[in-house]
Structure 1
Amino acid sequence: MLETSLNQLEQLVNDLMQKNTQLSEQNAAIAQELAQAKEDNDSLQLSLMEQEEKHGATAARIQALVERASAGVVNA
């Protein structure tokens, strides 16, 4: 009976060790995916800021053209 209990305990320890290895591998993969997602997020935020800056400059140019056109209509 003691031998059976020891065999069962040994099997449980082996199973736990295998599960621990699997979870460690999954954790490492998830950590890598998270790092990539953070990098992608930073890149997208920078790109968004650049686009907002360009759109702001474009909007200012359009507004200036509209004002010039409006002034030209009034003077004409």
Structure 2
Amino acid sequence: MLENNLSQLEQLVSELVQENKALQEANQQIRNELAQLKEENDALQMSALEQEELNSTTAARIQALVQLASGTANAAPSPAQA
């Protein structure tokens, strides 16, 4: 009986060791994927900030052009007045 229990215990320990190894490998793979996704996220955030800055600059240039065009239209006499 003791030999049978000891054999079962050895089998269970062996299974636990195998399961632990598989879990450690899966954990390492997940950690690697997480690191890669963090790098990708950082790159995307940087790209978004650059795009936002570009959009802001473009909007400011468009606004300046609109103001320039509005100012020119108000300052120049219309053809009917000439």
Same fold (TM over 0.5): yes
* Residue in structure 1 matched with residue 25 of structure 2 by the alignment: 25
Higher helix share: 1
* Residue in structure 1 matched with residue 58 of structure 2 by the alignment: 58
Residues paired across the two proteins, number = 76
Cα RMSD, aligned residues only? 0.6
Q: Distance in 1 between matches of 2:69 and 2:18?
A: 75
* Residue in structure 2 matched with residue 49 of structure 1 by the alignment: 49
The structural deviation recorded for 1:45 is 0.7
The structural deviation recorded for 1:49 is 0.8
- TM-score normalised by structure 1 residue count: 0.97
Q: Distance in 2 between matches of 1:71 and 1:11?
A: 88
- TM-score normalised by structure 2 residue count: 0.90
Q: Distance in 1 between matches of 2:66 and 2:18?
A: 70
Identity %: 58
User: Any gaps of 5 or more consecutive residues in structure 2?
Assistant: 77-82
